Amino acid sequence: MLTESQRQIIRATVPVLRVHGEQITERFYRDLFAAHPALLNIFNPVNQRPGGQARNLAASILAYAANIDQLDTLGGMVERIAHKHGSMEVRPEHYPIVGQYLLGAIAQVLGAAATDAVLDAWGAAYGLLAGIMIGREAELYAAGTAARWEGYKPCIVVKKEPESDGMVSLYLLAADGTPLPPFRPGQYLGVRLRVPGQTTDQIRQYSLSNAPGRRFYRITVRRERAGGATPDGLVSTYLHDGIREGDTLGIHAPLGDFTLDETSNRPVVLLSAGSGITPMLSMLEHLAPGIRPVLFVHATTSRAHHAFGGPVRTLAASRPGIQAVMFYETVGSDDVMGVHHDEAGRITEAALAARLPAGECDFYSCGPVGFMQAVEGILDRLGVPKARRHSEVFVPDAGFLTAA
């Protein structure tokens, strides 16, 4: 437990973190990997290059400090990070290592301002959060081992299918022939592999894009194109260009807290952009045989980048009560309204409001940051309560201690 004096010190460091947070986290990552290169098997080094992960970690440390008196408000963040850590097999023994280098980075960057009292307070705060994370992750590991498997199970790519310009689906079966366990619509798989020419394993998470209950798992991978001098995504490029049918990947049991609430009987609105369509398609396929009204809204740049357009239209036609609306930012001369797209441009409040099912709805949204910000603004203006909004942003997690 933190003492009141330690809490006061943590609160007092908030302005300092605003100024020096990124510098602290950049030094943390640099020193950690220099001393423990084996941790590159867990962390994604690509996220370190442009400084994005350092910024995310700095923002999360700041959020932790700002909420030190009301940690219950961080419950959603803790749950999301615990699932992410679970898919990467983060273990209790990793936490002291991370804590050592985080405190070391604080001491080096702050210099004389990092007094013994400040470092003691942050050591206690880190220990408190680490204990919470370790406890929740232990529960996830116990549940996973009992019902699924431990670690990464070899799975064979039995089918590889392009879905659009830049997206490809991989169909997976267990290499030992055992049935794959169920999952909840919206969850993801942790995928571990060694890209040829690399000295460390890489772990990524990809949403399951099919409904539960099939004999296979399907993940759909977007090719990460960085542009400029930054290299394209290492793993996504290899999954597109290097992996072949018959190859084997290490697969972690499904995890993820962005899931369909099946205890609700309210109508469902599924909002996605780009590769955010993948968990939404899993939810739509799962909901299609039921009776709940569903509005499926997807936004993409053009028909060339539109994945799963045909399957979504087929599901929408499978029964009354399912609507599908497609937004194309750029409409081609051969694009047919009502066949390829339904709206030109980006999603708008008017276009969404005109199609909402009657009554209170549950809203699920997934996509890049700009899209998610636009959706949140629309839902704010429509007066949708926060309790009926569920979302996931396809960027590196801004999680304190996140290993992505």
Contacts 24+ apart (CB under 8 A), 40-46: 40/200, 41/200, 41/201, 41/203, 42/88, 42/89, 42/90, 42/94, 42/203, 42/403, 43/403, 43/404, 44/202, 44/203, 44/204, 44/396, 44/403, 44/404, 45/200, 46/231, 46/233, 46/234
Q: Any bridge partners for residue 327, and if so which?
A: 299, 343
Phi first, then psi: what are they for 152, rounded to 5°? -115, 120
Please choose, from the candidates 382, 341, 206, the residue with its C-alpha nearest in 3D space to the C-alpha of residue 281.
206
What's the token pair of residue 333?
A: 């001369």
Please choose, from the candidates 306, 270, 302, the residue with its C-alpha nearest in 3D space to the C-alpha of residue 285.
270
**Rounded alpha-carbon distances, angstroms, from residue 281 to 219, 327, 369, 373:** 11, 16, 19, 21
What residues have CB less than 8 Å from 317, skipping those under 6 apart?
A: none
Residue 50 amino acid letter: P
What's the token pair of residue 185?
A: 């619509």
Please choose, from the candidates 89, 343, 394, 397, the residue with its C-alpha nearest in 3D space to the C-alpha of residue 220.
394
Q: Which residues of 269-307 are buried (b: 16+ CB within 10 A; e: fewer)?
A: bbbbbbbbbbbbbbbbbbbbeeebbbbbbbbbebbebbb
Which residues have a catalytic role annotated?
95, 137
Q: Output DSSP code: residue 91.
A: -
Q: Any bridge partners for residue 156, and if so which?
A: 173, 248
In angstroms, rounded to a whole number, what is the distance separating the alpha carbons of residues 245 and 156? 8
Q: Which residue has the tokens 């194109």?
A: 225
Percent of residues in the chain assigned helix, strand, coil, to nearest 5: 45, 20, 35
